[in-house]
Chains A and B, each alone.
Chain A
Amino acid sequence: MKLRAIDITLSGMFAALMAIGANITSFIVIGGVPITLTTFFCILAGLLLGSRLGSIAMIVYALIGLAGAPVFSKFSGGLSVIVSPTFGFILSYIIVAYVVGKIVEWKPSKRNFILAALIGFVINYVFGTNWMYFSYKYLAASDAISYSVAWSWMILPLPKDIILSILAGVLAPRLYKNINRNMIVLKDKSIA
């Protein structure tokens, strides 16, 4: 796998953007609920950087978080995150960025951007919630949290994440155009 300097800096920068997205609530408050934009940023990573660089950026994000930088939501971080039941969401970002990138690489139309974003959102929820369920089941060795209970926890942030995913799909082509206009290196080779 050959990575150019621009590929390296873009992936690194996107991992840094993810850290901002996870804690954007320290800048803006939406309805008093601690919201994170990680899913939103992760979908954008797939849409803007493509499947390969997008998923690499998400791996980098997970690694710097595990290495102790407080980049996950609520400024958490450190190796102990592995034990937390919500670790599955962090892992799912890698798959989400990859799949989302693959879809738009296959056919980059405005409709596909939104479709890809929604598919990414579904993967994020399915993977994350299943991980949560199984981590309660095996790590905490308890059957008390049933499958439906695990899913019922996800209903509350559901509408917000659907809206944000659609927004990501709408925003990505605009961002892409804007970025492309401002950059020289990327002009010769399209990234999305």
Chain B
Amino acid sequence: MSNSLIIGQYVPSDSFIHRLDPRTKITMIFLFVIFVFFANSAASYAWLTAFAVGIALATKIKIPFILRGLTPVWFLIIFTFILHLIVTKDGDILFQIFSFPVYSGGVIQGIAISFRFFLLILVTSLLTLTTTPIEITDAIESLLDPLKKIRFPVHELALMMSISLRFIPTLMQETEKISKAQASRGVDFKTGPVKDRIQAIVPLLVPLFVSAFKRAEDLAMAMEARGYQGGEGRTKLRELKIEKRDIFSFIIFGLVIIVLFLLRV
């Protein structure tokens, strides 16, 4: 449980996609999300889908596993499709469901929009499936580096993300411990009227907050004691490096986008 929290949705593997620099992946996915909205013909949708599925296959993650990760959003995709089926009134009436006429325009639009949804969700989830949150944190720090010029605390933000990721499992255990300790003193979290149960949150939260702040203080003191001076002149445990495969994938991506614009109507 706590283990799955640190790595998030990450599935370890040694595929080409896994080994790409996280910055390459973030940039390409960001661009892909924008270009998905440019698709406007069946051919362009098919092209983007082929590309997205190609990447999904290249990750070497089992397809059922990827699809299972999409379960929370299946509802959204299907809901969007049905919405368009019922509401849009273009073209000819194809058939009727419970006296609701279904128009051909509705079917086409429904498919197009839910496909766009599907593409967006598939590609964005591929990032978090192949990259650990820590790698993404490093990449964000590096990508936002130019913002340091306007005195935006990029390094500090990345450090906060790492601290937060590190302490989520610890605080989870702490919460469990406190809730058990309070239950043994007779606090009832599970039964009784709603009012009582909302009140039962208080003896859980006060110790949790105090302990979280205490930990923050200890950590800050440890940092001060070791002479923490902010990001200036700090070296890194994990260095990011752009390699040949990153440049190669940027070229491929560029070609995909050019073809996309040729396929547009």
Q: Which residues of A contact B (CB under 8 A)?
A: 1, 3-6, 8-17, 19-20, 24, 27-31, 37, 44, 48, 56-57, 59-61, 63-64, 67-71, 74, 76-80, 82-85, 139-145, 160, 163-164, 167, 171, 174-175, 178-179, 182-186
Contact residues, B142-171 vs A (CB, 8 A): 151-153, 156-157, 159-165, 167-168, 170-171
Contact A9 B216 (CB under 8 A): yes
B213 cross-chain contacts in A, Cβ below 8 A: 10, 13, 179, 182-183
In the assembled complex, how far is the CB of residue B183 from the closest CB belonging to chain A, in whole angstroms? Answer: 10
Residues of B within 8 A of A10 (CB): 213, 216, 220
B217 surroundings in chain A (CB, below 8 A): 6, 9, 183-186
**Contacting pair A179 B8 (CB below 8 A):** no
Q: Are A179 and B168 in contact (CB under 8 A)?
A: no
The answer to whether residues A30 and B198 also contact, given A13-B213, A183-B213 and a CB cut-off of 8 A, is yes
Decide yes or no whether B250 CB sits under 8 A from chain A: no
- Enumerate chain B residues within 8 angstroms of A67, measured Cβ to Cβ: 8, 128, 133, 136-137, 140, 161
**14 further interface pairs, Cβ-Cβ under 8 Å (given A9-B220, A82-B124, A174-B206):** A5-B228, A8-B156, A8-B159, A14-B212, A20-B172, A20-B175, A28-B197, A29-B190, A60-B161, A78-B69, A140-B83, A140-B113, A141-B84, A179-B213
Listed A/B pairs (9) with beta-carbon separation below 8 Å: A13-B215, A17-B209, A59-B157, A63-B137, A68-B132, A78-B9, A78-B69, A80-B124, A186-B217
Q: Hey, what's the 0/1 contact readout for B71-91 against A, CB within 8 Å counting as 1?
A: 011001000100110110000
Is B171 a contact of A16 with CB atoms below 8 Å? yes
Instruction: Compute how far the CA of A110 lies from the CA of B136 in the bound complex, rounded to whole angstroms.
Output: 41
Q: Which residues on A sit within 8 Å (CB–CB) of B157?
A: 56, 59-60, 63
List, in ascending order, chain B residues with CB within 8 A of A1's CB. 151-153
Distance (Å) between the CB of A80 and the closest chain B CB?
A: 4
- The CA of A174 and the CA of B206, in the complex, are separated in Å by 9
B164 in contact with A74 (CB, 8 Å): no
- Asked if B171 and A78 make an inter-chain contact with CB atoms under 8 angstroms apart, the answer reads no
Also in contact, A63 and B189, with CB within 8 A (given A28-B197, A79-B29, A182-B210): no
Q: Known contacts being A84-B73, A141-B109, is A15 close to B124, with CB within 8 Å?
A: no
Query: Chain B interface (Cβ within 8 Å of chain A)?
Result: 4-6, 8-10, 29, 33, 69-70, 72-73, 76, 80, 83-84, 86-87, 109, 113, 117, 120-121, 124-125, 127-128, 131-133, 136-137, 140, 151-153, 156-157, 159-165, 167-168, 170-172, 175-176, 179, 189-190, 194, 197-198, 200-202, 204-206, 208-210, 212-217, 219-221, 223-224, 228, 230
Q: Which chain B positions have C-beta within 8 A of A71?
A: 168
Q: List chain A residues, Cβ under 8 A from B153.
A: 1, 3
Q: List residues of chain A with CB within 8 A of the CB of B8.
A: 67-70, 77-78
User: Which chain A residue shows the least CB distance to B132?
Assistant: A68
Q: What's the minimum C-beta distance from B57 to chain A, rounded to whole angstroms?
A: 19
CA distance A186 to B233 in the complex (A): 28
CA distance A5 to B160 in the complex (A): 10
Once A16-B171, A79-B29, A80-B73 are accepted as A-B contacts, the answer to whether A37 and B201 lie under 8 Å apart by CB is yes
- Are A78's CB and B117's CB within 8 A? no
Contact A13 B216, beta carbon cutoff 8 Å: yes
B6's closest neighbor in chain A, by CB?
A69
Task: Look across to chain B and name the residue whose beta carbon is closest to the beta carbon of A178.
Answer: B210
Which residue from A70, A80, A84, A160 sits with its C-beta under 8 Å from B4? A70
* Candidates A31, A77, A85, A186; contact of B9 at CB < 8 Å: A77
B151 touches A164 (CB 8 A): no
B67 to chain A, nearest CB (A): 13
